[in-house]
Structures are given as structure tokens and as C-alpha cells.
Amino acid sequence: MPPSLNVQIAWGDCDEQGIVFYPNYFYWMDSAFQALLRRAGLSLRLIRNDLGAVGLPLVEARAHFVAAASYDEALTIDAAVSHWGRTSFQVGYQARRNDELVFEGHEARVWAVRRPDNSVGPAPIPVRFRDMLSAAALS
């Protein structure tokens, strides 16, 4: 499976000690998720226009930092769906510098739709979306 995202850490990604500033890991997790969607032939535009969701909002995000990373280093970030629920799913992330684990992350996302009263809420995840995203993890 190809990595979801390759990141070359820039000086601006780091704090004054030269270590990656932790919010950047969450940005890279989201970027890796967007890359996973693209690999599946999906985009947020397609999800909205063709599948009827207003989005895939986060309801939980966390990370476990295993090793420090610094500027001029390269990270490979993998993303894959780790659990499917009826209206939500979880995405797991692993970032490596060569073979060394740097961080692991987790997000929970909800399939959100606009309801007849114009509010937004969860709805069952379409089989087409689930199939497309699951197939991308195998390619």
C-alpha cells in the first residue's frame, strides 16, 4: 500500500527548539486523510454533491508522540479506516521516519447530512463510500 502522505519537515513546522510543533501532526493527519480520499477516487466535493453529505466532521482526535522529529527530516504518514460504525468511522494514522515510529494518531468522523429542518446531524454511511474507502486501503 502506498503511503497516504510524505512530509518534508520545514523549519516553519518546528518550535524554537527545532522540534515539530504538535498541532502540525494534526494538520498532517487531516492531509493524510484527504490523500486517502483521493486514492479512493473521492473528494469532499464528490461526497457533498454525489453522496449527499455536508461533510465528515471530526468528533475526536488524538495523537501519541513516540519520538521527536525535526526540520529537514522526512515523514511517511499512513492512514486507514480502523473501524466502521453505522454513522461514524475511525481513521488510524502512523508516521515513520525511515522505519522508526514517530507518532500514532486517531480520528473519529461522522457522516453528516442536512436534515429537512435544515439542521445537520449524523446519518447512515452509504455503502458506496464505505466500499470505495475500504478498497483504497488495499491498493
Q: Is there a catalytic annotation at residue 117?
A: no
> Given its phi and psi angles, is residue 66 left (phi above 0), alpha (psi -120 to 50 degrees) or beta?
alpha
Choosing from 13, 15, 30, 78, the catalytic residue is 15
Active site residues: 15
